Amino acid sequence: MPHPLGDRPSKIIAVHLNFPSRAKERGRIPAEPSYFLKPPSSLAGTGDPLVRPAGCELMTFEGEIALVIGRSASRVSPDEAWGHVAWVTAANDAGVHDLRYADRGSNLRSKGSDGFTPIGPRLLDAGKLDPAALRIRTWVNGEPVQDDTTDTLLFPFATLVADLSRLVTLEEGDVILTGTPAGASVTAPGDVVEVEVTAGEASTGRLRNTIVEADLPLAGWGAMPRVDESVRSDAWGSSYRPEPALDEATAAALRSLSTATLSSQMRKRGLQHMSIDGVHPADGASKMVGTAHTLRYLPLREDLFKARGGGMNAQKRAVEELRPGQVLVMDARRDHSSGTIGDILALRAKVRGAAGVVTDGGLRDSATVAGLGLPVFHAGAHPAVLGRRHVPWDTGVPIACGGALVQPGDILVGDADGVVVVPPDLVAELVEDAIEQEAQERFITERVAAGEPIEGLYPIGPRWRPAYDAWRRDGR
């Protein structure tokens, strides 16, 4: 069905964040509105299919309220702005997160594909509406997934029109997508997305579109779909429930083993530098097992800290990227004369399902962090913020932490003795041999406690081998 605008607008402008519920989901509240453009060729109507490009998995919906400009607006004030809006309707700001990396900021290919902006089915007369008294709802396969109102917007509609018109002339027919509430997420082929905007008894009707798979492969030139766990988490939003990063059987086996035993087994294999030196548990006794998600700090440079250290910097992104079962591992160049994490971000890491935190730098709010129930290993307590010594630089890269090279996905095991790095491809044989080593040490401990001398017993020699084998057969 054709969209209800008739002629194509000269532009479609979309707002990044506007509903407080969505801002809370994203973990940031912008001081000013920010925008991106969608091409007019992305317009569609109710009943038109939403085509997921071949090779993509993260087709998202975002129910939105669309404003249609009725008369040209240039440098209008907020008091005048609503008078330039002719119509209000429902919209779906659809996209594929698989391609966001390719046009970061512009969203051209991820949000601008043909048909990715269905609107309608009916237009409501803006002059008869209170812009602060609208309701937007979205359903997927008949189940409600979004429901919000416009009385608490971060940026009221008149503010958006006035702000844009300061530098950009809004022309008759132009469309402004005003932001989505909490609940936007991922759909799959066959799913039906419906969006409706109401104002009291007045309704746009339900904008209804079905997700379908493209019947032709994406041509092989240019950027191709690319997805990792952080992209999946961003696309799925609050509904994302990833699989643990380490299977529970392996994790349980590692929890039963000491770092001393694991270190000994790795040393037998020629791995001499697998300890993260100089770190200790904040609570004195934590046991930690998980896979590494890395964060790198560089030395403070004041002229770069403003750009790198403010806002959603690498430190905060690293916390928000955490998956259940991961350990946030920080490279602070063994400089613990400044904090690298404090109680709020440590709490957020726990809420994200983190298995622990390791930093060869300082820890702020150490007493509070010790009581969180999250294993945190650090090189020393310090009251200063990271800006005293460090600039948060990047995440998901190989780092040096306490003298050990840590790659994303490496396995970290920590206890009262410290933290060791276990290569994932060796973990199965290490666990098997470490279990045997600890069994031998229990046998030896029993004999020493009974008064036996250690010669020929530690390590177990030929004289004690039959007794040990019998001890093991008894299920010890």
Q: Is the pLDDT of residue 166 over 90?
A: yes
Of 366-370, 452-456, 464-468, the range with the highest mean pLDDT is: 366-370
Residue 205's contacts (CB-CB under 8 Å, 6 or more residues apart) are: 46, 90, 120, 121, 122, 196
Each residue's pLDDT tens digit, 13-47: 999 999 998 988 877 788 999 999 999 999 999 99
Angle CA 248–251–253, to nearest 5: 110
User: What integer is the mean pLDDT of 425-431?
Assistant: 88
Between 185 and 238, residue with greater pLDDT: 185
CB of 220 closer than 8 Å to CB of 163: no
Query: Are 174 and 11 within 8 A, CB to CB?
Result: yes
Q: What is the pLDDT of residue 434?
A: 85
**Average pLDDT of the segment spanning 131-147:** 95
- pLDDT tens figures, 66-112: 999 999 999 999 999 999 999 999 999 999 999 888 887 788 989 99
Check pLDDT > 60 for residue 243. no
Domains 12-238 and 248-422 share a fold: no
Cβ atoms 423, 404 nearer than 8 A: no
Backbone region of residue 84 per phi and psi (left: phi > 0; alpha: psi in -120 to 50; beta: other values) = alpha
Q: List the structure tokens of 31.
A: 């001081």
When pLDDT is averaged across residues 150-176 and rounded to a whole number, the result is 96
Per-residue pLDDT, averaged over 281-293, amounts to: 91
pLDDT band at 181 (very low <50, low <70, confident <90, very high): very high
Q: Which of 166, 171, 177 is nearest to 77 (CA)?
A: 166
Closest CA to 320 of 355, 366, 353, 292: 353
Dmax over CA atoms of the chain, in Å, equals 98
Could you report how far apart the first and last alpha carbons of the chain are, in Å?
A: 73
Give the amino acid at 277. Answer: D
pLDDT band at 128 (very low <50, low <70, confident <90, very high): very high
Identify the DSSP state of 310: S
Predicted confidence band of residue 476 (pLDDT cuts 50, 70, 90): low
Percent share of the chain, pLDDT over 90 = 68
Strand 50-52 versus strand 63-69 pairing type: unpaired
Res. 240 pLDDT band, cuts 50 70 90: low
Q: Above 90 in pLDDT, residue 51?
A: yes
Specify the pLDDT at position 230. Answer: 73
Between helix 427-449 and helix 465-473 the angle, nearest 10°, is 110
The pLDDT value recorded for residue 239 is 62
To which H or E segment does residue 321 belong?
Answer: none
pLDDT, residue 248, reads: 85
Q: Which three-class secondary structure state does DSSP give residue 411?
A: strand
Residues 43-57 as b/e (b if ≥16 CB within 10 A, e otherwise) read bbbbebebbbbeebe
pLDDT tens readout for residues 373-423 = 999 999 999 999 888 899 999 888 899 999 999 998 899 999 999 999 999
What is the DSSP code (8-state) at residue 73?
B
pLDDT at res. 1: 60
- Superfamily of structural domain 12-238: Fumarylacetoacetase-like, C-terminal domain (3.90.850.10)
Residue 415, beta-bridge partner list? 418
445: amino acid identity, one letter: T
Q: How far apart are CA 322 and CA 324, in angstroms?
A: 7
- In this prediction, residue 414 carries a pLDDT of 96
Question: Is pLDDT at 331 greater than 60 in this prediction?
Answer: yes
380-392: pLDDT as tens digits = 999 998 888 999 9
Overall residue count recorded for the chain in this entry:
476
Identify any residues that bridge with 413 across adjacent strands, giving them in sequence order: 289, 420
Q: What is the signed CA dihedral for 380, 381, 383, 386, rounded to 10 degrees? A: 40
430 phi and psi angles, rounded to 5 deg = -65, -45
**What average pLDDT is seen over the chain?**
91
Taking residues 50-54, report their average pLDDT. 93
Average pLDDT, integer, range 6-17: 91
> CA–CA separation, 404 vs 456, rounded Å?
35
> Is the pLDDT reported for residue 442 higher than 80?
yes
8 A C-beta contact, residue 410 and residue 292: yes
Residue 374: what residue type? L
- pLDDT beyond 90 at 369: yes
Domain 248-422 bears CATH identifier 3.50.30.40: yes
**Distance between CA atoms of residues 121 and 280, nearest Å:** 61
Q: What is the structure's pLDDT at 310?
A: 80
Q: pLDDT value at position 242?
A: 58
CA 370 vs CA 283, 337, 338, 342, 377: distances in Å: 5, 19, 18, 11, 10
pLDDT average, residue stretch 57-71: 96
- Between the CA of residue 153 and those of 17, 81, 178, what are the distances in Å? 10, 16, 10
Number of helices (H), then strands (E), belonging to the chain: the values are 13, 30
Parallel, antiparallel or unpaired: strands 411-415 and 404-406: unpaired
Backbone angles phi, psi at 154, to 5 degrees: -65, -40
Contact between residue 282 and residue 369 where contact means Cβ atoms under 8 Å apart: yes
Q: What is the mean pLDDT of residues 235-248?
A: 68
Domain residue ranges of the chain, discontinuous segments joined by +: 12-238, 248-422, 428-473
Task: Tell me if residue 44 falls in helix, strand or coil.
Answer: strand
Mean pLDDT calculated for residue range 221-249:
76
Confidence of residue 285 (pLDDT cuts 50, 70, 90): confident
The token pair that represents 95 in the structure block: 């996209």
Q: Which of 377, 411, 382, 405 lies closest to 251, judged by CA?
A: 411
Percent of the chain with pLDDT over 70: 98
pLDDT recorded at residue 164 = 97
238 — pLDDT class (breaks 50, 70, 90): low
Residue 245, pLDDT score: 61
